[in-house]
């Protein structure tokens, strides 16, 4: 449904990032409406799967590849311009 990442920094980690999603975006529609919709519609059926990585470049690269290959419905930012154009063109149907 959604692919996201949490960089490994002194102020950010997966636990903090998940807490942000499940508290802030669950209640607030204005900032990330697609995440709010996903959480409020599917929360009973959502599972969290993670890959523990220590290199932020690897984290970004893997996230981009996963999004481009899976094209999850709640990811609005598609990294590949070609896939983004196709998704935009087919979303009218």
User: Given a cut of 60, is residue 93 above it in pLDDT?
Assistant: no
Radius of gyration of the chain (CA): 14
What sign results for the dihedral spanned by CA atoms 61, 12, 1, 75?
negative
User: Rounded CA gap, 65 and 62, in Å?
Assistant: 5
Please write the tens of the pLDDT for every residue from 1-48: 888 888 888 888 888 888 888 888 888 888 888 888 999 999 889 888
What sign results for the dihedral spanned by CA atoms 34, 37, 40, 46?
negative
How far lies 48's CA from each of 85, 87, 93, in Å? 29, 25, 30
pTM as predicted = 0.74
């Amino acid at each position: 449904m959604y692919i996201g990442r949490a960089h490994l920094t002194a102020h950010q980690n997966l636990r903090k990032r998940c807490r942000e999603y499940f508290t802030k975006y669950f209640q607030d529609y204005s900032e990330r409406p697609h995440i709010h919709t996903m959480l409020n519609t599917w929360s009973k059926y959502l599972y969290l799967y993670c890959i523990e990585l220590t290199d932020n470049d690897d984290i970004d690269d893997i996230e981009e590849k996963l999004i481009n290959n899976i094209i999850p419905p709640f990811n609005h930012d598609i990294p590949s311009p070609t896939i983004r154009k196709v998704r935009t063109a087919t979303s009218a149907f």
